[in-house]
Amino acid sequence: MTEIVIRRAGAAGRITLNRPAALNALTPAMCSEIARALDAWADEDDIGMVIVDAAPGRAFCAGGDIAMIYQAGLARDHDGPRGFWRDEYRMNARIATYPKPIASFLHGFTMGGGVGVGCHASHRIVGETSRIAMPECGIGLIPDVGGSLLLARAPGHLGEYLGTTGHRMNPADAIHAGFADYYLPEAAWPDLIARLERGADWAAIESAATDPGDSALARRQDAIDPIFRHETLAEIAGALERDGSDFANETLSALRCVSPLSAACALVTIRKARAADDIEAALELEYRFTHRALSDGELMEGIRAQVIDKDRRPRWRHSGPADVPDAEVAAMTAPLNAQGWTLEKTE
């Protein structure tokens, strides 16, 4: 089976992720094919817009192929995953800055690398099954693929909350947080896609969209902001303990499941991305951590516990959110200098 289907359909370029049994997890080859297609269509007058969707199943894209990264880690091949991240990030930047409209149809799970493909598009459509999250801290990574910028731009301090806890957003939540733009029941998607293929009229998306309903995340904003505006993970955990509400206890429980080192570094990265407010800067900030994730971080242990052995009991380096030394956070998020990621390919 072809991992990704790329073709022209009328006035649109079509990209369909096609690994439904693997929740459409991204491989290096898929990222390369997406990048090549976008480059080819950018200057072609007969392509008015790009449509990105996925084969029917449980996910638009549940992330990158982390089992592949784990195998590379076992072989002490750190350069292979680093190359994958660099190429993936370039593709993410291309989507975010593309000169033509890109419509993404985000059914089911859209997480991690799926956010990088689907949520930097100019027109992001969700439906009733859509669940969007950045759960990377749960495997010892941080929100990447430009996700730190999306989190930074979320209202108030939702970004810090979503990025550290990995909370899953429903359609209304995703629109409120800025990860999606339009809600449309999924049964209506084929007709809308056919209209877009015929005329590349992106305004048809807005006219077709319907009300997603109330956002529970929006209702929690007043509880989230005073807690997640605190500077450090330890201070956030302390504020949650003092609060003692059901929401606070639920959130503290979620924080105690993720890698404390990753969550602390995610806070730093999201806030620096907020200050920069630029996709390339955000990707460079993320790459500081991902470059070190296999060699110096907890990614191997997180993947082992969640994906390989599936015991869901990672043995993190630190016992809880209050126990991460500032020096470790600084080391994982420090500039890489000559080793860093750049938008232009140099190899």
- pTM for this model (two decimals): 0.96
- The edge-to-edge listing of strands for the beta sheet with 59-61 is 59-61, 109-111, 131-133
DSSP letter assigned to residue 167: P
347 pLDDT band, cuts 50/70/90, is very low
What distances in angstroms separate CA 198 from CA 55, 195, 203, one per listed residue?
Answer: 21, 5, 13
pLDDT digits (tens, 9 = 90+) for 212-222: 999 999 999 99
Largest Cα–Cα distance of the chain, in whole Å? 60
Residues designated catalytic: 64, 113, 136, 144
- Gap between the Cα atoms of 261 and 263, Å rounded: 6
- Gap between the Cα atoms of 91 and 77, Å rounded: 22
Average of per-residue pLDDT across 93-119: 98
pLDDT digits (tens, 9 = 90+) for 244-266: 999 999 999 999 999 999 999 99
Average of per-residue pLDDT across 162-175: 98
Structural domains in the chain? 4-138+166-208 (3.90.226.10), 216-338 (no CATH)
Q: Where are the beta strands (DSSP E) in the chain?
A: 4-9, 12-17, 49-54, 59-61, 102-106, 109-111, 123-126, 131-133, 182-183
Question: What's the whole-number average pLDDT of the chain?
Answer: 95
pLDDT of residue 303: 96
What distances in angstroms separate CA 336 from CA 245, 266, 285, one per listed residue?
Answer: 41, 17, 9
292 pLDDT band, cuts 50/70/90, is very high
17 near 61, Cβ under 8 Å? yes
The set of residues, in sequence order, having a beta carbon less than 8 Å from that of 10 and lying 6+ positions away, is 197, 198, 199, 200
pLDDT digits (tens, 9 = 90+) for 108-135: 999 999 999 999 999 999 999 999 999 9
